[in-house]
């Protein structure tokens, strides 16, 4: 049995249905026979890493449909492979079809992109963590982040209260990398990690010396990251800090970043520049 989502996620799924249905499914009502028993089978139409099956099962629960998983999340499916079977009144199947497909297509697209990027990255460094960012669709962040995890990546922080992440504009407000880190260290619990975005080697060294847990190397070239690694090793500081790289990282260059010596690469492309996977629903009637 698939895990049931949290109440907050169930609420979001209800809202997606309400957004699409509004006062009712005019077409389904117009053609009549809404209570005719039927089966709606969702098929993959192209090769993809399956994600979103838990959400489809939750929609089935909300709308009174029976749901059977025919494939496992996180595994390759398709093309023309059945992945989920829904059973119930024809009217309900027709009404939920688009919301179900919207979710599974987008989540599977993200999971597929993450999986492929990880395969490439780990050719350069088997231990590398591939993470998402907060460059997500408003109202759909949870599902995009979960899709990243299904694909084998790390979701990174879900919201601003997860950790301290000092970016360039924060540094500008305070007046320096070291000042910003020390201010944050004095203001938050030891349980919260402090990450600081830096723009050059000097700022990177300043961040480590000030006590950052994570140094975020923003828009660094792989060769410049290697210089940061060398400098930290010479000072005996490399083991004190996690190095994360971000900025323009995708499948075309992630292997180079993996070989540069960073621990983590984070990529907004995982959730804002992916191709939705192709799925459809086919209805049959006994």
Evaluated on CA atoms 44, 115, 152, 272, the torsion sign reads: negative
**Distance of alpha carbon 28 from its chain centroid, rounded?**
34
Do 249 and 257 contact (CB within 8 A), yes or no?
A: yes
Placement of tokens 């922080």 in the chain: 157
Q: How many CB atoms lie within 10 A of CB 14?
A: 14
How does strand 194-198 pair with strand 214-218? parallel
State the Cα–Cα distance between residues 278 and 47, nearest whole angstrom. 8
Helix (H) or strand (E) holding 115: helix 90-124
Q: Burial level of 92, CB count in 10 A (0-12/13-18/19+)?
A: buried
Q: Quick one: tokens of 22?
A: 């509004």
Do 215 and 196 contact (CB within 8 A), yes or no?
A: yes
**Distance of alpha carbon 109 from its chain centroid, rounded?**
10
Do 226 and 197 contact (CB within 8 A), yes or no?
A: no
Per the DSSP assignment, residues forming a β-bridge with 150 are: none
Cα-trace Rg, the chain: 23
- Per DSSP, helices labelled H in 167-253 are 168-174, 177-187, 201-210, 222-234
Question: Which member of 135, 179, 221, 227 is catalytic?
Answer: 135
Tell me whether residue 135 is one of the annotated catalytic residues: yes
Residue numbers annotated as active site: 135
């Amino acid at each position: 049995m698939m895990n049931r989502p949290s109440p907050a996620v169930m609420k979001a799924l209800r809202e997606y249905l309400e957004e699409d249905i509004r006062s009712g499914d005019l077409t389904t009502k117009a053609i009549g026979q809404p209570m005719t028993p039927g089966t709606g089978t969702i098929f993959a139409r192209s090769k993809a890493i399956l994600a979103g099956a838990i959400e489809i099962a939750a929609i089935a629960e909300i709308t009174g449909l029976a749901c059977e998983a025919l494939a496992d999340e996180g595994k390759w499916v398709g093309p023309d492979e059945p992945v989920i079977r829904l059973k119930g009144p024809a009217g309900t199947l027709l009404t939920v079809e688009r919301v179900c497909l919207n979710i599974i297509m987008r989540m599977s697209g993200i999971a597929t992109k993450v999986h492929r990027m990880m395969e490439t990255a780990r050719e350069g460094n088997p231990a590398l963590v591939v993470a998402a960012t907060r460059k997500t669709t408003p109202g759909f962040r949870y599902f995009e982040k979960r899709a990243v995890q299904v694909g084998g990546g790390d979701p990174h922080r879900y919201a601003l209260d997860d950790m301290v992440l000092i970016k360039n504009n924060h540094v500008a407000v305070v007046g320096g990398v070291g000042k910003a880190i020390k201010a944050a260290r004095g203001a938050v619990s030891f349980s919260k990690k402090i990450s600081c975005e830096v723009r050059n080697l000097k700022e990177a060294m300043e961040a480590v010396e000030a006590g950052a847990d994570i140094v975020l190397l923003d828009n660094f070239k792989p060769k410049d990251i290697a210089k940061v690694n060398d400098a930290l090793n010479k000072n005996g500081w490399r083991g004190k800090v996690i190095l994360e790289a971000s900025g323009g990282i995708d499948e075309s260059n992630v292997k180079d970043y993996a070989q540069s010596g960073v621990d983590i690469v984070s990529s907004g492309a995982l959730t804002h520049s992916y191709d939705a996977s192709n799925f459809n629903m086919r209805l049959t009637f006994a």
